Structure 1
């Protein structure tokens, strides 16, 4: 169990550094181009996640095609939205808004899955939205497109989780992982065409580093699930906010003020509470794995990503 938790913490640390690379190159390259090259290499290497008996064709052979298509779409769109958020907002602030995902999952579970939510989780959801208002402070400072993009990314990640819950355990691990890599690469590859520019040699190295973090972090989390149930590892994703604060301060000269830190603490605390309550009520599914930077959030609980 301890080994699994340590590996999960390591996986999300790698994810956080991958997001830092995204932030470093995202101002100069189209976000869809960053996403495409960041996921192309993991897609080509995804067969390493196959279990005995699984086949390459499983990546598109879905037992629940409509639900899988929606899940792949939601999680795939989350990545470029996250790239946009990281490049236009302070690192920790973008993470905090993306961590709104568990609260949005709770809301969607009521609307889509018709689940009953008890008052404690309801209060946690309200607290999370209050935390977002404290971070963004509408009326006191300008609301940037990045704020809206980050919230949209959290909503798409939550949609991926809901689709994952509706799918259940009918799909193989390789199908869940590989289909997200494939969907993200294809969608980003098409959308990058209008704004495509050939990367410089430095940008190529950074893109390669981003691709490496996406694959290595995924691999660490998959290995972690062999030592501990995936639903017990989900809370480790919140360690990313600490990495975000550290990386933002040291490399991007971003120092959140006291009010922003208070809002971040509320959002993260609410997310952890919701996670704990769902485990207590046995409503958290055992996901397959995360798929990538806060797309990892969506993947983590469905898939993820799980994430």
Structure 2
């Protein structure tokens, strides 16, 4: 792997922009069609990309599919596609601004659960960062006003699911390559959504909707291509802090395209959550907790 931090950072910024666009297309389509139909098309395209990429790698599909922990890999893929469905639902209930602000809490969930799940040492600084981040979430939700709103609970559920996916990805990486994990992420997820979504099938109604669906599929593939290149360019710990820009780009699209509003509690709470998350990433880098070249997901919905 090369070590070009500037290129890696630029690629990560581009990745977050593309994924923010993907979220916008998902929200737009989910307002007309059910969430499962939207995710089904998106995952079919994503799985095709994963299979094509794996076929071109050394060893082909057989090497990519080879694993000693198939149940873990399959569960990861199913969990991620389920999380994406939940998050897209949150977009329709809350909008992009508040959904991304709440979802930004997921790295802190990973930080606190990495102890009991992965056996990593969780020091007082990391625990304190999680506590501060939770305060930020409470600022966003404003207990007594919106904490039990369906959209807020849906977004929090998506954050928890994605955090578990991140932990399982770290666990899988102990014995499998990133290519193998990527293969199962796409294929297992596509199979799972294909078994469920047809029961709620909603065909595209207009050529314009097909255009937006095409944009959704293309941004998904482009986002992952850029993400892969970012982690090939430099260490994950260098580029991961810039993944939080997806919140900025997503919120901007929500405000200027969908007419959403950015209320001060959401802005203040998101700033607290991001600050706590960046501190946690800095502590991981200081402790050397993140392996060189480890692959991680951006601070937003993937794939």
Q: Matched residues in 2 for 1:122 and 1:81: separation? A: 27
Find the partner of 1:209 among 204, 215, 221.
215
Q: After TM superposition, which residue ranges in structure 1, 4 or more long, deviate above 4 angstroms?
A: none
Q: Matched residues in 2 for 1:24 and 1:273: separation? A: 34
Contact 1:214 1:293 in 2 (8 A): no
Deviates more, 1:256-265 or 1:67-76: 67-76
Find the partner of 1:108 among 113, 131, 139.
113
Deviates more, 1:178-187 or 1:86-95: 178-187
The SS at the match of 1:138 is helix
Q: TM-score, normalised by structure 2?
A: 0.90
Which residue in 2 is equivalent to 1:227? 233
**Deviations, residues 205-259 of structure 1 (Å, cap 9, x unaligned):** 1111111001001101111222212232211210111112211111111111112
Contact 1:176 1:288 in 2 (8 A): no
**Structure with the largest fraction of helix:** 2
Q: Give the gaps of 5 or more residues in structure 1.
A: 297-304
Contact 1:30 1:192 in 2 (8 A): no
**Residue correspondences, number:** 296
Higher relative contact order (CA 8 A, sep 6+): 2
Q: Matched residues in 1 for 2:296 and 2:140: separation? A: 29
Which residue in 1 is equivalent to 2:249? 243
Q: Matched residues in 2 for 1:271 and 1:181: separation? A: 27
Q: Give the gaps of 5 or more residues in structure 2.
A: none
Which residue in 2 is equivalent to 1:274? 280
Q: Matched residues in 1 for 2:129 and 2:196: separation? A: 36
User: Cα distance 1:63–1:241, how it changes in 2: closer, same or farther (>3 A)?
Assistant: same
Contact 2:34 2:200 in 1 (8 A): yes
Are 2:160 and 1:151 equivalent residues in the alignment? no
Q: Matched residues in 1 for 2:190 and 2:70: separation? A: 19
Which residue in 2 is equivalent to 1:135? 140
CA RMSD of aligned residues (A): 2.0
Q: How does 1:119-198 map to 2 (within 5 A)?
A: 119-141=124-146, 143-198=148-203
Q: Matched residues in 2 for 1:54 and 1:211: separation? A: 27
Q: TM-score, normalised by structure 1?
A: 0.89
